[in-house]
Amino acid sequence: MFLDGKRVLVTGGTGSLGQRIVERLLDGDAGNVRSVIVMSRDETKQHQMRLRFLGRISATDDVIFARAQERLQFRIGDVRDLSAMIECVRDADVIIHAAALKQVPTCEFFTREAVLTNTLGADVVVRALQIVGNHVEAVVGISTDKACKPVNVMGLTKALMERLLIAANLTVPTTRFVCVRYGNVIGSRGSVVPLFDDQIANGGPITVTTPDMTRFLITLDKAVDAVFAVLANGRPGEIFVPRAGAARVTDIAKAMMGDRALEIQFIGVRPGEKTHEVLVSEEELGRTSERDGYYVIAPMLPGLGSSPPAPQCLSVEYSSARAALSGSALAELIASARSGREAG
């Protein structure tokens, strides 16, 4: 398979998505990898993750030090730090760049921090490859629907991340840079499923922003599938967009509460939020084709576009307002998210 024998670096590897990527890399879902390097700046999360993957209750010196060169490795480092990134890049053949500040209100209040991590962090990855990374075969950047027609800081910084990585195909031609863009990962830290579960357990109320707000929903495993798909089949500069259902947040709350008569309290739109999200914009339609079950957005930069261009597959922008999951389909997605959290 495409990652057989490869050394894979996962930035932000202690997050919800990062941990699931690591699990599936070690399970061999994308090939028999030589090693997986988890880079993050949170030593507590790394410690907890190390113990969980080893099946240990407490750490001893052999866990922390003697196992440091085994198949699963941990590196303390910040994606903003070029020196730290260079040290990790030296030992990687493939990079999955998942490090990010992803909470919309947090990014609004701490704009500089979001720029440093989400945008300049991607630039640091590129610069590290320019210095020591000629051997790196591929980099995939993890993006978001909020990067499409962005109106908030999180989306703006992620949109620039996409552009930085796509343009890097021209400045680091020995490496293939691609991106994956999707909506809310249901069940991940900070998503509505764990929030609503807690509120339901406490007897309500369930807090929802507005009655008509919609969101794209994707499970952790579908998100990882998209990462592996773009690594296996993406061409330089392409953005893979998985097909995803969407639902009103109100319907998610109702599906989760079931027959219980709990209050739904509307609290208003938080700083930076949109009512509906978009995964493929009107401006991108002419560059969007379909491949292996994914929408594929070709790069706009000269020299990176496909030749001849693939047939356009969408006639209107891909918006959460047009696709509404409800009933059994929504219940199945929620159940899948809950089972994934329990397994993790």
Mean pLDDT of 133-160: 97
63-74 pLDDT, tens digit per residue, is: 444 444 478 999
Mean pLDDT of 99-110: 93
Residues annotated catalytic, as ranges = 146
Higher pLDDT, 125 or 184: 125
Report helix, strand or coil for 264: strand
Q: Is the pLDDT of residue 332 over 90?
A: no
**49: its two tokens:** 């993750």
Mean pLDDT of 289-311: 86
Cα 101 from chain centroid? 11
Give the Cα separation of 247 and 13 in Å (integer).
Answer: 28
ω into 311 cis (within 30 of 0): no
What structural domains and CATH numbers belong to the chain?
Answer: 7-182+219-242+279-317 (3.40.50.720)
Split at pLDDT 50, 70, 90, the class of 323 is: low
Q: With beta carbons less than 8 A apart as the criterion, state whether 267 and 208 touch.
A: yes
pLDDT for position 329:
79
Give the Cα separation of 171 and 168 in Å (integer).
Answer: 5
ω into 205 cis (within 30 of 0): yes
* Alpha helices for the chain (secondary structure H): 16-26, 43-54, 61, 82-89, 104-109, 111-114, 120-132, 153-171, 192-201, 220-233, 249-257, 327-343
- Sign of torsion over alpha carbons 126, 128, 134, 139: negative
In eight-state DSSP terms, residue 285 is G
Higher pLDDT, 194 or 156: 156
Length of the chain in terms of residues written: 344
Q: Is the pLDDT of residue 255 over 90?
A: no
Q: Is the pLDDT of residue 54 over 90?
A: no
Give the range among 54-58, 223-227, 244-248, 249-253 with minimum mean pLDDT: 54-58
In Å, what is the CA distance from 274 to each residue of 31, 183, 189, 215, 243?
39, 13, 20, 9, 20
174-201 pLDDT, tens digit per residue, is: 999 999 999 988 867 667 777 888 899 8
pLDDT for position 56:
59
85-102 pLDDT, tens digit per residue, is: 999 999 999 999 999 999
Beta bridge partners of 172: none
Q: With beta carbons less than 8 A apart as the criterion, state whether 162 and 150 touch.
A: no
